[in-house]
Amino acid sequence: MKKKAGLLLSLTLAASTILGACGNADKNTADNKSGGDTKKAGSFKVGMVTDTGGVDDKSFNQSAWEGLKKFGGDNSLKENEGYRYLQSEKEADYLPNLTKFAESNYNLTYGIGFLMADAVGKVADQFPKNNFAIVDMVVDKKNVASITFSENEGSFLVGVVAALTTKSNKVGFIGGVESDLIKKFEYGFKAGVASVNPSIQVVSQYAGDFNKPEKGTQLASTMYGQGVDVIYHAAGGTGNGVFTEAKNRKKKGENVWVIGVDRDQHQEGMPENVTLTSMVKRVDVAVEQVSKQAMEGNFPAGKVVTFGLKENGVGIAPTTDNVSKDALAKVDEFQKKILAGELKVPATEADYKTFEASLKK
């Protein structure tokens, strides 16, 4: 019996050695679901490709990078070895940057922003054994996780704040690139405003770019000049120009406000203190969570992962110094209704028209 047991043990060890050697021989055979055999933090590598706004846009890309840095720090990964980013200067950089990570056998590569959808789809086809994730768009590939948010829900809440703050009964919305995604911000915001006071006018404009602060300044100047006193921007780096215009006007004695987006942008309004609140979109939490799932072998390949109010993926920024107690109470009231399913926030023009009609009944 002892000889048989010893023989059995030897065979088992030999098989394990052979299997281990096979795994090391082909580093490209990462399983779509688990991220292969590189689940341990020491050998896990995750990359992130920004859109043209850059990693320091004080908004969307920066939030994603903060989430990746936290994941790296929590798992003892070294920057530029275990995790890193590549910045895209132009749209043509998307595919080459994504490809660099795939060719370097990164376990997971992020495309940050819906503008990268085509590039992520192409690289996913070219590297079917690698894992990819895209933020703000659905790419229907077996090796891609699509991370989306209920931006309309968070935008609804800051719309409530805008409606309870405006003195002119005229508020504004400035979007980056006009798209279904940014329309979710716009119509959620408009619905929040209308829920408080349907007579408040909402002026909407699009910059056509997420990285043109000067365009943001121009659009904000026109809006404030027309009597708008609160502007909500969903424009990435372009939104920095909205803050610039608001601060310049505040210096001259005008009482105007900006509602930030993606991160708590309270600091962007200083020292003139023009940030009313921000619609926080926790891209950092999403990136951190999906990276953790990939490392642990539970990567949501081929799935759509949505972060809304229920998942703490969107909401009002923690800095509430400039928000009245009445507004905060109203936000809490509406948030409970959304969570309870009593209120469905519109995300499209058609949805908004139905919602608007319901307010008149």
Q: Which domains does the chain have, with CATH numbers?
A: 30-149+284-307 (3.40.50.2300), 151-280+324-359 (3.40.50.2300)
Sheet containing strand 314-316, edge to edge, reads: 201-206, 170-175, 230-234, 257-262, 275-281, 314-316
For each of the chain's 361 residues, which pLDDT tens digit applies?
433 334 333 434 344 433 343 334 333 333 444 344 445 556 899 999 998 888 888 788 999 999 999 999 999 999 999 999 999 999 999 999 999 999 999 999 999 999 999 999 999 999 999 999 999 999 999 999 999 999 999 999 999 999 999 999 999 999 999 999 999 999 999 999 999 999 999 999 999 999 899 999 999 999 999 999 999 999 999 999 999 999 999 999 999 999 999 999 999 999 999 999 999 999 999 999 999 999 999 999 999 999 999 999 999 999 999 999 999 999 999 999 999 999 999 999 999 999 999 998 7
Nearest CA-CA partner of 226 in 253, 198, 249, 209:
249
In the prediction, which pLDDT does 57 show? 83
pLDDT for position 41:
57
| 210 closest CA partner among 55, 52, 50, 48 | 52
Q: At what angle do helices 180-196 and 151-163 cross, to 10 degrees?
A: 40
Q: For residue 304, list its beta bridge partners.
A: 146
In one-letter notation, the amino acid at residue 208 is G
What is the predicted pLDDT for the residue at 348? 97
- Predicted local distance difference test score (pLDDT) of residue 42: 63
pLDDT at 5: 39
SS3 231: strand
Q: Provide the residue type at 328 as one letter.
A: L
The reported pLDDT for the residue numbered 321 is: 95
